[in-house]
């Protein structure tokens, strides 16, 4: 077979949100770029992750199918799945391909494999013979994302366990669903499938949302249980088998759990198998370590081969959310443009080309009921990093803004403050609609705004944002502070 030859300034492997954005940035900076994609332009987020799962969640919030009669429930489920299909663009990428074209980014379809310095082979999905060789003048960018991790539990693969892709794209709602894991995917999918009418069991070996503040986790567990979900904390699945009645899971020391389907949601692995990492001295299948401008590091932590290879998005394992991958893409894309012009990158902490926020200020919203929105560190994480931190808590329902929301609003907020520096290092809000409170907290953390100055950021009345005022009152003015133990805020009359 003839191998076609191509030359671009930048070659991007993977057209997920991170790959698309780095290509966009280098083209905007005057370079040429090609993206190599083996599946759909748009990546996991558009077709099997963010968009379809949020469409499922938002379709059922106000009228959960589980609360309706049989025929209304069937209609509701069909409408929810159809809406989800639209948000996943029916798994066609024409619109995103058109966008690439409009942005002046070239596309090559196929599986990319590194072939040494600045060289990438493109292979058909079903063959190991390259059909194209693409050479980069300046940089190659890995943006290959991650796939669901399936733990080595005997029988789990054999029973055809669902991964997040199956849960996001299912065309039918199983009557019962067991979920292994207690992280973000498990929580969101337990919420969605319970609302869609499945009898859901969550087997959360390490707890539910264990990386978030305990109060948020407790609120989500209570709400899942209120929705009929059987939440089993500390339950570890040690075996699985399928028979004519469905799947049976062995739960170590705690009997068995039966369900029509089982969803495995215990984290991700990098899409680096068969990527040709061996040709540049890295290990096949490994996470890719990078420096602050997203250049790939060698096994010993030094810059790999002069710095022609970058890695952005999930594949570098720094922060597995779309917005952070896009942030890295902007930093890396601009750094590539600067270096191609012979300029130094601005790689100091918080510099134009450094992805510093990955370490200090990653915002995330978990779209459960209630929603949980968090940025920075929890109190425990702050203390384990050696920060002399205190927490202040506030019941969001005590704001006038919350009183004006639909009846029954419940919510809770916590700020984590670095006491010696008097700056906010973490914030968590739990409650429906709290996602829009998050960006103010992200700005406070990124800006390291002193509490004394935050005191002057006056929240409008009557909004839930008044929680900020109450939290700062609870923290106290530096001259009148006495008890910073984390007790709930007293709300002045």
Ligand X SMILES: NC(=O)c1ccc[n+]([C@@H]2O[C@H](COP(=O)([O-])OP(=O)(O)OC[C@H]3O[C@@H](n4cnc5c(N)ncnc54)[C@H](O)[C@@H]3O)[C@@H](O)[C@H]2O)c1
Q: Which residues bind ligand FAD (CB under 6 A)?
A: 13-19, 36-39, 43-45, 49-50, 53-54, 111-112, 143-146, 164, 168, 185, 271, 275, 313-315, 320-323, 325
Q: Is 308 helix (H, G, I), strand (E, B) or coil?
A: coil
Exactly one of 23, 249, 266, 372 binds ligand X (CB under 6 A); which one? 266
Q: Which of ligand FAD, ligand X, none does residue 267 bind (CB under 5 to 8 Å by kind)? A: ligand X
Q: Token digits for 118? A: 């600045």
Looking only at residues 285 through 324 of this chain, which bind ligand X when binding is defined by CB under 6 A? 320-321
268 binds ligand X (CB under 6 A): yes
Residues whose CB falls within 8 Å of the CB of residue 174, separated by 6 or more in sequence, listed in order: 193, 198, 259, 260, 261
59 membership: H or E segment, kind and range: helix 50-60
DSSP state, residue 247: E
CA-nearest of 32, 235, 247 to 159 is 247
What is the C-alpha separation between 470 and 468, in angstroms, rounded? 5
By a kind-dependent CB cut-off of 5 to 8 A, residue 257 interacts, out of ligand X, ligand FAD, none, with none
* Least gap, CB of 187 to ligand FAD (angstroms): 11
Q: Give 108 or 204: the residue with its C-beta nearer to ligand X.
A: 204
Partner in contact with 197, chosen from ligand FAD, ligand X, none, beta carbon below 5 to 8 Å by kind = none
Residue from 29, 124, 151, 486 in contact with ligand X (CB under 6 A): 151
CB of 358 to ligand X, least distance (A): 13
Is 205 among the residues that bind ligand X (CB under 6 A)?
A: yes
Q: What is the DSSP string of 139-197?
A: EEEE---EEE-----TTTTTTT-B-HHHHHH-SS--SEEEEE--SHHHHHHHHHHHHTT
Q: Any contact of residue 263 with ligand X (CB under 6 A)?
A: no
Residue from 12, 180, 311, 357 in contact with ligand X (CB under 6 A): 180
**Is the separation of the CB atoms in 269 and 149 below 8 Å?**
yes
Distance between CA atoms of residues 359 and 373, nearest Å: 17
**Identity of the residue, 270 or 276, whose beta carbon is nearer to ligand X in the bound complex:** 270
Q: Which does 206 bind (CB under 5 to 8 A by kind): ligand X, ligand FAD, none?
A: ligand X
Q: What angle do CA 42, 44, 48 make, to 5 degrees?
A: 115
CB of 41 to ligand FAD, least distance (A): 7
CA atoms in the 13 A half-sphere facing the CB of 335:
29
Q: Please report whether residue 361 would count as binding ligand X according to CB under 6 A.
A: no
Report what 181 binds from ligand FAD, ligand X, none; CB cut-off 5-8 Å by kind: ligand X
| Residues 99-118 within binding reach of ligand X (CB under 6 A) | none
Does position 363 interact with ligand X (CB under 6 A)? The reply is: no
| Dihedral pair phi/psi, residue 28, rounded to 5° | -60, -30
- Cross-strand bridge partners of residue 259: 247
Spatial separation of the C-alpha atoms in residues 372 and 386, rounded to whole Å: 25
Q: Tell me the per-residue interface mask from 229 to 248 with ligand X, x by CB under 6 A, - otherwise.
A: -------x------------
Q: Is 186 in the site for ligand X (CB under 6 A)?
A: yes
**Whether 146 contacts 164, CB under 8 Å:** no
257/277 Cα distance (integer angstroms): 41
**Residue 36 binds which entry of ligand FAD, ligand X, none, CB below 5-8 Å type-dependent:** ligand FAD
Q: How far is the CB of 183 from ligand FAD (least distance, A)?
A: 10
Is residue 365 close enough to count as binding ligand X by CB under 6 A? yes
Give the C-alpha separation, 368 to 217, whole Å. 10
- Residue 95 CB burial class (10 angstroms; 0-12, 13-18, ≥19): exposed
Among residues 271 and 399, whose Cβ is nearest to ligand FAD?
Answer: 271
d(CA 340, CA 333): 11
Q: Which stretch binds ligand X (CB under 6 A): 12-20, 127-135, 340-348, 362-370?
A: 362-370
Query: Of 77-85, 176-184, 298-306, 413-421, which segment contacts ligand X by CB under 6 A?
Result: 176-184
Distance (Å, rounded) from C-alpha 83 to C-alpha 222? Answer: 28
Q: How far is the CB of 471 from ligand X (least distance, A)?
A: 24
378 binds, among ligand FAD, ligand X, none (CB under 5 to 8 A by kind): none
Q: Which part of the chain contacts ligand X (CB under 6 A), choosing from 91-99, 205-213, 326-334, 428-436?
A: 205-213
**196 is an interface residue for ligand X by CB under 6 A:** no
- Select from 35, 44, 42, 53 the least CA-distant residue to 315: 44
Give min distance, CB of 196 to ligand X, in A. 17
Q: Can residue 390 be called a binding residue for ligand X (CB under 6 A)?
A: no
332 is in the binding site of which of ligand X, ligand FAD, none (Cβ under 5 to 8 A by kind)? none
Residue 156 CA: distances (Å) to CA of 30, 146, 181, 425, 461 = 49, 20, 13, 40, 53
Of 395 and 435, the one with the shorter C-beta distance to ligand FAD is 435
Give me the sign of the Cα torsion angle 372, 377, 383, 385: positive
Q: Which residues bind ligand X (CB under 6 A)?
A: 151, 180-186, 188, 205-206, 210, 236, 265-268, 320-321, 364-367
């Amino acid at each position: 077979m003839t191998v076609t030859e191509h030359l671009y300034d930048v070659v991007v492997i993977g057209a997920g949100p991170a790959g698309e954005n780095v290509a966009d940035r280098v083209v905007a900076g005057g370079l040429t770029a090609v993206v190599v994609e083996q599946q759909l332009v748009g990546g996991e987020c558009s077709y099997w992750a963010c968009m379809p799962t949020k469409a499922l969640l938002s379709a059922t919030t106000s009228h959960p199918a589980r609360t309706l009669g049989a025929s209304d429930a069937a209609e509701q489920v069909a409408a929810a799945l159809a809406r989800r299909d639209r948000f996943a663009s029916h798994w066609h990428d024409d619109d995103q391909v058109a966008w690439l074209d409009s942005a002046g980014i070239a596309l090559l379809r196929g599986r990319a494999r590194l072939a040494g310095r600045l060289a990438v082979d493109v292979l058909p999905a079903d063959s190991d013979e390259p059909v194209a060789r693409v050479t980069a003048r300046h940089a190659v960018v890995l943006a290959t994302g991650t796939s669901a991790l399936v733990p080595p539990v005997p029988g789990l693969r054999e029973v055809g366990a669902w991964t997040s892709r199956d849960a996001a794209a299912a065309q039918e709602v199983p009557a019962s669903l067991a979920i292994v894991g207690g992280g973000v995917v498990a929580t969101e999918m337990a919420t969605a499938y319970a609302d869609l009418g499945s009898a859901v069991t969550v087997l959360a070996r390490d707890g539910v949302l264990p990386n978030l503040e305990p109060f948020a986790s407790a609120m989500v567990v209570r709400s899942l249980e209120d929705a009929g979900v059987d939440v089993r904390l500390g339950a570890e699945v040690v075996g699985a088998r399928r028979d004519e009645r469905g799947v049976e899971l062995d739960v170590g020391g705690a009997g068995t759990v039966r369900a029509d389907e089982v969803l495995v949601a215990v984290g991700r692995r990098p899409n680096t198998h068969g990527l040709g990492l061996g040709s540049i001295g890295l290990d096949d299948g490994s996470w890719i370590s990078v420096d602050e401008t997203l250049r790939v590091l060698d096994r010993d932590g030094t810059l790999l081969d002069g710095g022609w290879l970058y890695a952005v998005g999930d594949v570098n394992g720094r922060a597995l959310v779309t917005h952070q991958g896009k942030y890295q893409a902007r930093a890396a894309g601009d750094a590539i443009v600067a270096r191609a012009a012979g300029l130094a990158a601005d790689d100091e902490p918080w510099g134009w080309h450094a992805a510093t926020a990955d370490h200090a200020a990653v915002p995330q919203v978990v779209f459960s009921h209630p929603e949980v929105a968090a940025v920075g560190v929890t109190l425990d994480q702050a203390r384990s990093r050696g920060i002399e931190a205190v927490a202040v808590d506030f019941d969001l329902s005590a704001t006038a803004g919350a009183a004006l929301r639909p009846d029954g609003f419940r919510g809770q907020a916590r700020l984590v403050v670095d006491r010696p520096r008097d700056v906010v290092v973490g914030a968590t809000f739990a409650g429906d609609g709290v996602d829009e409170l998050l960006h103010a907290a992200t700005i406070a953390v990124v800006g390291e705004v002193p509490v004394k100055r935050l005191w002057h950021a006056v929240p409008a009345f009557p909004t839930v944002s008044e929680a900020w005022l109450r939290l700062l009152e609870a923290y106290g003015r530096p001259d009148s502070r006495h008890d910073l133990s984390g007790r709930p805020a007293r709300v002045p009359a």
